[in-house]
């Protein structure tokens, strides 16, 4: 019962207090990459319902010199790396929290195209409102496997409480300050999820 009032009040306060930082970050993106300043993408929310998530843009839209589509790692700019290092690219998601699309704590909203790839157990991550941060983010962020991430998401679904949320928020501060787990090896964030192997195929 405390979760939504907490999200509403704290997101509004943070938008007000951090408005100079949000404005400066937006101007930095505009000066370095031009328009659009915001990255918008449809993601699955509570019960898989689609919503538009907001982030500051960290990548260019340029194709590679050979005409092929550049990888995310190639498109990530110096400013983008800086924003991701300190999670400043996530600041516009405060407006998603204010709207009720996101909570501060919950499983991170992934891509719509992943929904058919989930096992029934993994799909349970949509039984709660997605979050800006979550248990997977403080237990390895993008440096853990997809299966480990989903296991942590389901643990959160089954054990969610206001106390756990507060612990995750505190741990998130230390995770951001340590700048660990920002990306998986060789990736801008994580490799694309292609589905989990059946237990019979796991080594």
pTM of the model: 0.83
Domain ranges, ordered by start, for the chain: 3-181
What band does 78 get if pLDDT is binned at 50, 70 and 90? Answer: confident
Model pLDDT for residues 179-197, shown as the tens digit of each residue:
665 555 555 567 889 887 5
Model pLDDT for residues 92-150, shown as the tens digit of each residue:
999 999 999 999 999 999 999 999 999 999 999 999 999 999 999 898 877 788 999 99
Integer angstrom CA distances of residue 200 from 115, 161, 197, 203: 22, 34, 8, 8
Model pLDDT for residues 55-71, shown as the tens digit of each residue:
999 988 765 454 556 66
Mean pLDDT value across residues 11-39: 94
Q: Where are any strands of DSSP class E within the chain?
A: 38-44, 50-56, 103-105, 131-133
Higher pLDDT, 9 or 81: 9
**Structure tokens belonging to residue 116:** 């058919």
């Amino acid at each position: 019962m405390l979760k939504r009032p907490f999200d509403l009040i704290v997101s509004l306060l943070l938008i007000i207090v951090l408005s100079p930082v949000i404005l400066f970050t937006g101007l930095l993106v505009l000066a370095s990459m031009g328009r659009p300043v915001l990255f918008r993408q449809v993601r699955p929310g509570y019960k898989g319902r689609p919503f538009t998530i907001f982030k500051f843009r960290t990548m260019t839209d340029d194709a590679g010199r050979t005409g092929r589509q550049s990888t995310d790692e190639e498109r990530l700019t110096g400013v983008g790396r800086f924003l991701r290092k300190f999670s400043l690219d996530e600041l516009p998601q405060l407006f998603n929290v204010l709207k009720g699309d996101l909570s501060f704590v919950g499983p991170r909203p992934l891509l719509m195209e992943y929904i058919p790839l989930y096992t029934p157990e993994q799909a349970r991550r949509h039984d709660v409102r997605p979050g800006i941060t979550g248990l997977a983010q403080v237990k390895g962020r993008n440096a853990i496997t997809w299966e480990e991430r989903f296991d942590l998401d389901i643990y959160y679904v089954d054990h969610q409480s206001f106390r756990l949320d507060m612990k995750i928020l505190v741990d998130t501060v230390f995770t951001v300050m340590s700048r660990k787990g920002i990306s998986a090896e060789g990736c801008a964030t994580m490799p694309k999820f292609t589905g989990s192997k059946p237990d019979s195929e796991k080594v």
